[in-house]
Amino acid sequence: MSSTAGITVLGATGSIGVNTLDVIERNRDRYRVVALTANRDAERLFEQCLAHQPRYAVLADTDAAEDLRLRLRDSAPDIEVLGGAEALVRVAGLDEVDCVMAAIVGAAGLLPTLEAARTGKRVLLANKEALVMSGELFMQQVRSGGAVLLPVDSEHNAIFQCLPHGYVPGTGQPDGVGQILLTASGGPFRTLAPEQLSGITPAQACAHPNWEMGRKISVDSATMMNKGLEVIEACRLFALPGDRVQVMVHPQSVVHSMVQYRDGSVLAQLGNPDMRTPIAHSLAWPERIDAGVDALDMFRVGRLDFEQPDEQRFPCLRLAREALQAGGTASAILNAANEVAVQAFLDESLVFTAIADVIEATLAQVTSRDADSFDVILEDDARARAVATGLVAAKAGRRMYS
């Protein structure tokens, strides 16, 4: 067996992917990149291939894969370039891969992440949408595949760090826990006058005060759907009901989340808001490695504030809790409607405040059912996308003629 861990980075060109490669670069004696994947950014993947010399480079878009093949032909002919969604699944399950960073955004990440679970990898989960969609079935796949699922999402990684020694997600409820206190920055519009929310532009929504992230999750943070998805994610990972996950707005984003124990103790994980910390933690767990992150200066932080979330201003939080409560495929329907609505907002065909309206109307129109197979989940995901797309078009039409 090789002494370095073989890694596939799904979503290598994104914000999490780039941070993951930065941490790997700092720890080259421990990790070797087996595969890098992206959607269609051949230029960036080409540069990453030169720097990390993976065995495989995959682009979901087959034309972009052809472009990458031509670029690599002279400079790195040993790298095998693959194209298409099936190739993403293939490189997640290779024998020579020990660890898969699941950092594709959205439902597109589900099948490759599942393959990593099925083949018993260490799965570093950034792609929360995959878990939100498929819930308990995903966790079953982790258990039956003998995979180790470690959360990369900063809050869930913080919670994991605060849970009893030896506990890993997917093994039931951790001992002695009363509540999880899930922190939220509140996004860029926490204090904006409510009547100004409808005029928000994509550029404003993507300018997060504390974190630099991809566009979709940035909009999710601005609507607080990100926190709604994270409540569901926490319930799945740690086998807790929704009423034991309390959202707390914490504008400084220094406390990444907390666990309140039955005996009155509260454990928190703190750090600068830099995703390289949870990435490094999940890569090396149970050891610790250099992440390139500055030490937290508590004197500079000075104070830590906590507030109740405002569900009037952020209806997406309520919608996510309702979907969690409804169970079955409701969270897949919620997620799909959100993906469609957020993309429409980014494309400037939907106003910011209508994102929640589209999700609520989709949940009302698409009835959920038992999520007893991945086929059922994917079918309801598709039904929700069709309904949400129709609602977006109807709203765009009304705007045009009003």
Binding site for ligand NAD (CB under 6 A): 11-17, 38-39, 41, 60, 88, 103-105, 108, 126-129, 153, 211, 213-214, 216-217, 275
At its nearest, how many Å lie between ligand NAD and the CB of residue 268?
18
* CB nearer ligand NAD, residue 208 or residue 395: 208
As a whole number of angstroms, the distance between CA 155 and CA 161 comes to 10
Q: Which does 17 bind (CB under 5 to 8 A by kind): Mg ion, ligand NAD, none?
A: ligand NAD
Mask for 154-183, x = binds Mg ion (CB under 5 A): xx----------------------------
Nearer to ligand NAD, 105 or 340 (CB): 105
Backbone angles phi, psi at 335, to 5 degrees: -65, -45
| Residue 116 binding: pick among ligand NAD, Mg ion, none (C-beta 5-8 Å cut-off by kind) | none
Task: CB nearer to ligand NAD: give 12 or 268.
Answer: 12
Report yes or no: 271 and 293 within 8 Å, Cβ to Cβ: yes
Residues 6 or more apart in contact with residue 183 via CB below 8 angstroms: 155, 247, 248, 249, 250, 253, 255, 256, 257, 258, 306
Closer by beta carbon to Mg ion, 79 or else 225:
225
Whether 227 contacts 317, CB under 8 Å: yes
- Residue 121 or 216: the one with the smaller Cβ distance to ligand NAD is 216
Binding partner of 133, given ligand NAD, Mg ion, none, CB within 5-8 angstroms per partner class: none
* 153 near Mg ion, judged by CB under 5 A: yes
Reduced to 3 states (helix: H, G, I; strand: E, B; else coil), residue 300 is: helix
Residue 380 binds which of ligand NAD, Mg ion, none (CB < 5-8 A, kind-dependent) = none
Residue 13 Cβ, how far from ligand NAD at the closest point, in Å?
4
- Which residue's C-beta sits nearest to ligand NAD? 14
Does position 380 interact with Mg ion (CB under 5 A)? The reply is no
To the nearest whole angstrom, how small is the minimum distance from the Cβ of residue 88 to ligand NAD? Answer: 6
CA distances for 400 relative to 33, 349, 394, 396, angstroms: 49, 10, 10, 6
In this complex, which beta carbon is closest to ligand NAD, that of residue 105 or of residue 334? 105
129 binds Mg ion per the rule CB under 5 A = no
Stretch that binds Mg ion, among 22-30, 146-154, 182-190, 199-207 (CB under 5 A): 146-154
Nearest distance, CB of residue 235 and ligand NAD, angstroms: 17
Dihedrals phi, psi of 387, to nearest 5 degrees: -65, -45
The b-or-e profile of 202-228 (16+ CB within 10 A means b, else e) is beebbebebbebbbbbbbbbbbbbbbb
Quick note: the x/- pattern for Mg ion over 266-285, rule CB under 5 A, is --------------------
CB of 135 to ligand NAD, least distance (A): 16
Q: Which does 104 bind (CB under 5 to 8 A by kind): ligand NAD, Mg ion, none?
A: ligand NAD
* Residue nearer to ligand NAD on the CB measure, 127 or 223: 127
The pairing of beta strand 5-10 with beta strand 99-102 = parallel
> Would strands 56-59 and 5-10 be described as parallel, antiparallel, or unpaired?
unpaired
Residue recorded with tokens 């682009």: 59
CB of 190 to ligand NAD, least distance (A): 18
Indicate the helix (H) or strand (E) that contains 388: helix 374-401
399 Cβ contact list (under 8 Å, min separation 6): 351
Closest CA to 272 of 295, 248, 299: 295
Give the H/E segment covering residue 231. helix 225-238
- Cβ nearer to Mg ion, comparing 20 with 154: 154
CA distance 51 to 253: 32
Element (H, E) at 357: helix 354-365
Q: Where are the alpha helices (DSSP H) in 13-103?
A: 15-26, 42-52, 62-75, 85-92
Residue 187 interaction partner, one of Mg ion, ligand NAD, none, beta carbon < 5-8 Å per kind: none
Residues in a beta bridge with 10: 102
Cβ pair 309, 185 in contact under 8 A:
no
Query: Least distance from C-beta 365 to ligand NAD, angstroms?
Result: 25
Applying CB under 5 A, the site for Mg ion has a residue count of 3
Contacted entry of Mg ion, ligand NAD, none for residue 13, CB cut-off 5 to 8 Å set by kind: ligand NAD
- Please report how close the Cβ of residue 288 comes to ligand NAD at its closest, in angstroms: 20
| Interface positions with Mg ion (CB under 5 A) | 153-155
